[in-house]
């Protein structure tokens, strides 16, 4: 569904874990024909958290005799062609038909431009709306339209301070969110409205808590232990897409457990060592280490954590006697480095 993919791109582009972009997974709506797209302005100046409206006008038609399509809306997609910023896309609001018929008409309405759109944009497509409708199975109809130059200043900067810095499993935590003016490094000097969300609410319009910061742009929220298993985010919502956003999964300790399938084996025999990592960081590497001398640990086998959080590495006693081993997890994504307790396999 294209609108869900583009929503994920827009809302999660600033997130630390992912940068999901829409990919070609469907075809344009064959009923939609676009003959012209125009913008009321070719350039805008936007400051701070303001939104500047630009009127978008689409001429075209929708080949349908369904009475329900008489109320059909369209929305226009713009892609960034220069500049840098959090988001690769901008979208107009849902444009109502203002003239003509559904088969040969004009749709018009506002595109609200934020300061974070600083750069140059170009109309690349039009889609039948409304925006965000669940179950849509079409991509925008391509259209090479006009460009829009955006001069943005005093862009919002978002920060978050998590306490404790590394959140133990099963423990609550707090996040102090901060919104400041990136140009001055200071607060905007007024209370600001934002949305705090968890999990799906960070990647689509799926609820959350509307909050008001203090005049310093600060807001502290107490989170439940279970919230640490999902993305946590702050969004400054726009029309329809966000002005800015920050999201992440909180840091977790690296807790590793490992047990050899046998505690003794003949020299050269492969002994599977099974273990787990708390929080199931699937895909993260783990290494079996053997003690050389008094203090030097060397990797002798490696594997990756499975979806279940479990792993298997292979030990192979190299000499007769009691051999110390451990499993090491290097820092991986939000998981800190960790090591299992030392265990022993006797070489026979």
Let me know if the fold of 2-153 is the same as that of 156-248.
Answer: yes
Q: Terminus-to-terminus CA distance in the chain, angstroms?
A: 60
Q: Is the pLDDT of residue 7 over 90?
A: no
What is the mean predicted confidence (pLDDT) over 286-303? 95
CA distance 86 to 344: 50
Region of 53 please: left (phi>0), alpha (psi -120 to 50) or beta: beta
CA distance 128 to 68: 13
In this predicted structure, which of 76-85, 151-160, 182-191, 336-345 has the lowest mean pLDDT? 76-85
Strands 74-82 and 89-91 come out as antiparallel
Contact assessment for residue 103 and residue 142, using Cβ atoms and an 8 Å cutoff:
no
Q: Is the pLDDT of residue 17 over 50?
A: no
- Residues 229-283 have pLDDT tens digits of 999 999 999 999 899 999 999 999 999 999 999 999 999 999 999 999 999 999 9
Classified as helix, coil or strand, 116 is helix
CA distance 45 to 154: 11
Neighbours of 177 (CB within 10 A): 21
* Percent above pLDDT 90 for the chain: 82
As given in the structure block, the two tokens for residue 305 are 């954590």
Residue 3's pLDDT band, with cuts at 50, 70 and 90, is low
Radius of gyration of the chain (CA): 27
Residue 137's pLDDT band, with cuts at 50, 70 and 90, is confident
What is the per-residue pLDDT for 129? Answer: 81
What is the mean predicted confidence (pLDDT) over 108-124? 96
Apex CA 12: angle with CA 181 and CA 117, to 5°? 45
DSSP structural state of residue 275: E
Residue 24's pLDDT band, with cuts at 50, 70 and 90, is very low
Residue 67 neighbours by CB under 8 Å, 6+ apart: none
What is the per-residue pLDDT for 148? Answer: 97
CA distance 245 to 36: 33
Residue 8's pLDDT band, with cuts at 50, 70 and 90, is low
What is the mean predicted confidence (pLDDT) over 14-27? 46
Residue 225's pLDDT band, with cuts at 50, 70 and 90, is very high
What is the per-residue pLDDT for 204? Answer: 78
For the 2-153 domain, the top CATH level (class) is: mainly beta
- Residues 331-342 have pLDDT tens digits of 999 999 999 999
CATH code matching the domain that covers 256-347, chosen among 2.60.40.10, 1.10.600.10, 2.40.33.20, 1.10.287.470: 2.60.40.10
For the 156-248 domain, the top CATH level (class) is: mainly beta
Give the mean pLDDT of the chain.
91
Which residue matches tokens 């600001």? 192
State the greatest distance between any 2 C-alpha atoms of the chain, in Å, as a whole number: 89
Record the pTM. Answer: 0.85
CA distance 3 to 204: 10
DSSP string across 23-42: ---SEE-TTEEEEEEEES-S
CA distance 33 to 63: 8
Domain borders along the chain are 2-153, 156-248, 256-347
CA distance 58 to 78: 13
């Amino acid at each position: 569904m294209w609108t869900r993919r583009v929503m994920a791109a827009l809302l999660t582009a600033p997130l630390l874990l992912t940068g999901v972009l829409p990919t070609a997974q469907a075809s344009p709506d064959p009923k939609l024909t676009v003959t012209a797209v125009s913008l009321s302005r070719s350039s805008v100046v936007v400051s701070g958290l303001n939104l500047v409206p630009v009127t978008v006008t689409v001429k075209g038609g929708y080949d349908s005799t369904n009475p329900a399509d008489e109320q059909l809306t369209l929305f226009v997609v713009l892609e960034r062609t220069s500049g840098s910023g959090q988001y690769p896309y901008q979208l107009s609001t849902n444009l109502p038909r203002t003239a003509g018929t559904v088969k040969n008409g004009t749709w018009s309405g506002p595109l609200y431009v934020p300061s974070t759109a600083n750069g140059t944009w170009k109309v690349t497509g039009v889609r039948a709306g409304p925006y965000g409708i669940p179950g849509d199975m079409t991509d925008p109809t391509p259209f090479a339209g006009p460009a829009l130059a955006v001069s943005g200043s005093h862009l919002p900067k978002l920060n978050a301070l998590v306490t404790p810095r590394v959140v133990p499993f099963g423990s609550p935590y707090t996040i102090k969110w901060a919104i400041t003016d990136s140009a001055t490094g200071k607060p905007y000097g007024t209370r600001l409205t934002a949305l705090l969300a968890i999990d799906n609410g960070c990647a689509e319009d799926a609820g959350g808590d509307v909050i008001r910061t203090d005049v310093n742009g600060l807001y502290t929220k107490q989170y439940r232990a279970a919230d640490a298993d999902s993305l946590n985010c702050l969004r400054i919502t726009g029309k329809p897409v966000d002005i800015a956003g920050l999201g992440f999964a909180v840091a977790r300790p690296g807790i590793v457990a490992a047990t050899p399938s046998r505690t003794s084996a003949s020299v050269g025999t492969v002994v599977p060592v099974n273990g787990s990592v708390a929080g199931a960081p699937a895909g993260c590497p783990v290494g079996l280490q053997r003690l050389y001398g008094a203090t030097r640990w060397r990797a002798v086998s490696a594997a990756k954590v499975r979806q279940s959080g479990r792993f298997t590495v292979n030990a192979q006693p190299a000499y007769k006697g009691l051999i110390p081993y451990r499993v090491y997890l290097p820092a991986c994504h939000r998981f800190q480095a960790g090591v299992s307790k030392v265990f022993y396999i006797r070489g026979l």
